[in-house]
Amino acid sequence: MKIEERQRLVQLLRETIYRLTGNYYPDERMKILEYKLERLLKSLNVDNLPPERTIDFFLSDPERKKMLIDLMTVPETRFFREREQLETLFDRVLKDKKVVDFASIGCSTGQEPYTIAMMAEKRGIAGRIVGMDINPEVLKKARRGVYRATEIRDIPTEYREFVLEKGETLEVVNKIKKRVEFREVNLIDPKSFEPIKNSFDVVFCRNVLIYFDYQSKEIALSNIKSALRREGILVLSSTEILGKEFYHLFKPFKEDRFTFYRRTD
């Protein structure tokens, strides 16, 4: 493929990914996009179609569309990520609560919702825990609840009763697995939020909206708001900050050194 065609294809791909997922590749990440695309095209043996046809090739088939989403979204996650923030939420913000319904949106391979389940279990907190993601591939892995044995190092000693080490793997115990459901959801698609309107007290959406631009972030935040009950809480990563332009949807409040967000009425 000629250089100009390749560049046109990468641009089209950027637009397509944005339209499908809300994830916006800024100029400085375009090299990553190009590299990922190259790998995908090689693996499928389709490096010679014109740019528009290449995009059609992916969009015209649900399985190939999934491949595109799988490759273009960032699945990085781990158990007990930002543990201190989680402890502040459970032990200060949710203090004395006996039933809390949680969602982890952009849950990737499941470590986040399982961490929430372990923390809730330890504190005797009942309620639903639902992990959601746009990528069906990561959800498959999340449902299995089987990880690499090395991930044990992310799990504090007092929570290791909730995993089983089996040779090279680490498996979440059934008691915890049973507490977590998984479902496919697209943060920028209001239709996928219809069935979960007003369903949660706390929504985690950590390290997801950092890949969105202003517009897709606003759509995603409105959808998250619709999934929360009145007074519901949004948890972002502690390095993400919602600017004033979103205060009509969520208002920040501080607990210790962490900022959480409460749904506006």
Residues that bind ligand SAM (CB under 6 A): 21-23, 73-77, 81, 106-108, 112, 133-135, 138, 185-188, 206-208
- Minimum CB separation from ligand SAM for residue 155, in Å? 14
CA–CA dist 146, 133 (Å, integer): 18
**Closer to ligand SAM at the Cβ: 133 or 201?**
133
- Minimum CB separation from ligand SAM for residue 78, in Å? 6
- Minimum CB separation from ligand SAM for residue 111, in Å? 7
Q: Where do the H-state alpha helices sit in 45-151? A: 51-59, 62-72, 83-88, 111-122, 136-144
**Closer to ligand SAM at the Cβ: 73 or 88?**
73
- Minimum CB separation from ligand SAM for residue 189, in Å? 8
**Closer to ligand SAM at the Cβ: 28 or 265?**
28
Q: Which one, of 11, 236, 33, 76, lies nearest residue 262 by Cα?
A: 236
**Closer to ligand SAM at the Cβ: 51 or 187?**
187
Kindly tell me the sign of the dihedral angle through the C-alpha atoms of 43, 61, 211, 254: negative
- Minimum CB separation from ligand SAM for residue 135, in Å? 4
- Of all residues in the shown chain, the one whose CB is closest to ligand SAM is 106
**Closer to ligand SAM at the Cβ: 86 or 125?**
86
Tallying the residues shown for the chain, one arrives at 265
CA distances from 78 to 106, 114, 222 (A): 13, 10, 27
CA–CA dist 198, 39 (Å, integer): 41
CA–CA dist 202, 260 (Å, integer): 10
